[in-house]
Amino acid sequence: MKVYTRKGDDGTTGLLYGGRAPKDSPLPWAYGTVDEAQATLGMARATCERGGELDRLLTRLCGELWVLMAELATLPENRAKLTPGQTLVTADMVAGLEALIDEASERFEPPKEFVVPGQNLVAAHLDLARTVVRRAERLAVRAAPPPSEVVPYLNRLSDLCWTLARWQEGESLRTRTV
């Protein structure tokens, strides 16, 4: 099997369960940005302790982002073909992120001022991931309207990235200036 198919040379992309969409339409914009978010989480993973708690968590999150991309790469008329937890984001997945945020939040004193990113490499990558996830969230609003759980999931994931960055910093550099 070759990596290239030439099918996208006309400016369209194939979608899960069939159909094609222009590459600049809301679905590819959204799942492409989720792909970017996954890559930034991979950068954070590459800088943390291999096999450690954060590495395992980021690996799990990267896997969950495949579920988001699958849902976002599906035309609305094929939504019934999606499988919860495999190709369809579930409320349980969102609740799972909330539990992780709560657990990680207990590991540090939350800053009361703005945080300056870059205390260490892992935290800086997590802060970058947070911003890419926020962009994916904004794009998913058009691509995955309710009852989809994609937008809530991305909203919680950005909060989790922020929380994990603060945990990894231990002591954040804070400033009151904007």
Q: Which residues contact 3 (CB under 8 A, 6 or more apart)?
A: none
CATH number given to 20-175: 1.20.1200.10
In the chain, domain spans: 20-175
Convert the pLDDT of each residue in 41-52 to its tens digit.
Answer: 999 999 999 999
pTM of the model: 0.93
CA distance 101 to 158: 10
Residue 178 CB neighbour total at 10 angstroms: 4
Q: Is 5 helix (H, G, I), strand (E, B) or coil?
A: coil
Report the candidate in 108, 141, 106 with the shortest Cα–Cα distance to residue 26.
Answer: 141
Convert the pLDDT of each residue in 66-122 to its tens digit.
Answer: 999 999 999 999 999 999 999 999 999 999 999 999 999 999 888 888 889 999 999
CA distance 48 to 54: 7
Convert the pLDDT of each residue in 4-32 to its tens digit.
Answer: 999 999 999 999 999 999 999 999 999 99
